[in-house]
């Protein structure tokens, strides 16, 4: 097992939002930790296997946040599942879902709230990130209002761990989960099996071209602002008339530009949900 690269990025308080945006653009597939230091600074820590990723992140930080202190070193590639066991906590989503790891199943033997069992790997999406929780809460609200319901078709673009697809499947929808990252495809496939919803959705490798075989009643894309803008035409074109579109993975300060990209495709002004500095856009 090869070593990992660890990057520690320490920034002043006034640059936290900027560096958070950079991390969202570059490190979403890996995730990162944030620690408030006694000095008033914030330290971002990310682990990755890919040296090119580290080079690109360092270059972006040097260009946009030159005052950031960046330290990089190699660390042993430990068993990440064992590490997750130390701090993975259940994530309740209203009284509809609870996100748990496989080793927690005995703690949640009942069928309500519905367990979303996620094997924590490098893929993005355990329910702990605000945008994932935002999307799960939105799906819950839409299901309770019967705006989405059993028998509808969904597309989960940038599926990561597959958590949103699993939630849709457990709400009775069928569809497609797609991701450009093979690690995510593998993890989503694994989580589909762990949750016993193999017959409810396909997992495909690719972006919009991998899913452009039909139109969907529901599209959810929890990715990043730039690809959301770039894919606006494709995503809007796959939405069935009268369908529901949920976009997230973006900072509140990026929401206007993403909104404009989709209104240019003929969609109306969306509803906006905010959690701290993160946002989700909903068209229904």
Quickly list DSSP for 216-257. EEEEEEES-HHHHHHTHHHHHHHEEEEEEEEEEEEEGGGHHH
At 123 the pLDDT is: 46
pTM of the predicted model as reported, rounded to 2 decimal places: 0.76
42: part of which helix (H) or strand (E)?
Answer: strand 42-48
Q: Where are the domains of the chain?
A: 4-78, 81-283
Contact 228, 221 (CB under 8 A): yes
Q: Which CATH architecture has domain 4-78?
A: 2-Layer Sandwich (3.30)
Residue 31 token pair: 């995730």
Q: How far apart are CA 222 and CA 280, in angstroms?
A: 9
List per-residue pLDDT tens for the chain, 284 residues long. 567 888 999 999 888 888 888 887 777 656 677 888 888 889 998 887 778 888 989 999 999 899 999 999 988 776 555 555 666 678 899 999 999 888 888 888 778 899 999 886 654 566 667 888 999 999 999 999 999 999 999 999 999 889 999 999 999 999 999 998 887 898 899 999 999 999 999 999 999 999 999 999 999 999 888 889 999 999 999 999 999 999 998 888 889 999 999 999 999 999 999 988 889 999 99
The answer to whether domain 81-283 has CATH 3.30.565.10 is no
């Amino acid at each position: 097992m090869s070593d990992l690269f660890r990057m520690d990025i320490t920034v002043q308080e006034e640059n936290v939002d900027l560096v958070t945006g950079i991390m969202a653009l570059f490190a979403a597939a890996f995730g990162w930790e944030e620690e408030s230091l006694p000095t008033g600074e914030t330290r971002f820590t990310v682990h990755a296997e890919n040296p090119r990723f580290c080079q690109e992140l360092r270059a972006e930080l040097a260009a946009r946040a030159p005052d950031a202190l960046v330290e990089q070193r190699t660390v042993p590639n430990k068993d990440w599942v064992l590490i997750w066991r130390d701090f993975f906590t259940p994530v309740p989503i209203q009284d509809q879902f609870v996100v748990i790891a496989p080793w927690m199943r005995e703690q949640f033997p009942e069928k309500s709230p519905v367990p979303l069992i996620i094997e924590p790997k490098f893929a993005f999406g355990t329910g702990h990130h605000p945008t994932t929780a935002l999307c799960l809460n939105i799906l819950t609200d839409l299901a309770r209002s019967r705006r989405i319901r059993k028998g509808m078709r969904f597309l989960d673009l940038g599926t990561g761990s597959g958590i949103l697809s699993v939630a849709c499947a457990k709400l009775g929808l069928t569809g497609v989960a797609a991701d450009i990252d093979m690690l995510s495809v593998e993890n989503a496939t694994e989580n589909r099996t762990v949750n016993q919803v193999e017959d409810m959705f396909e997992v495909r490798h690719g972006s919009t071209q991998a899913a452009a075989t039909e139109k969907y009643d529901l599209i959810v894309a929890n990715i990043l602002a730039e690809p959301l803008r770039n894919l606006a035409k494709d995503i809007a074109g796959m939405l069935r008339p009268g369908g529901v579109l949920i976009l997230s993975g973006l900072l509140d300060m990026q929401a206007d530009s993403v909104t404009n990209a989709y209104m240019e495709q003929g969609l109306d002004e969306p509803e906006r949900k905010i959690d701290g500095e993160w946002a989700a856009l909903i068209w229904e």
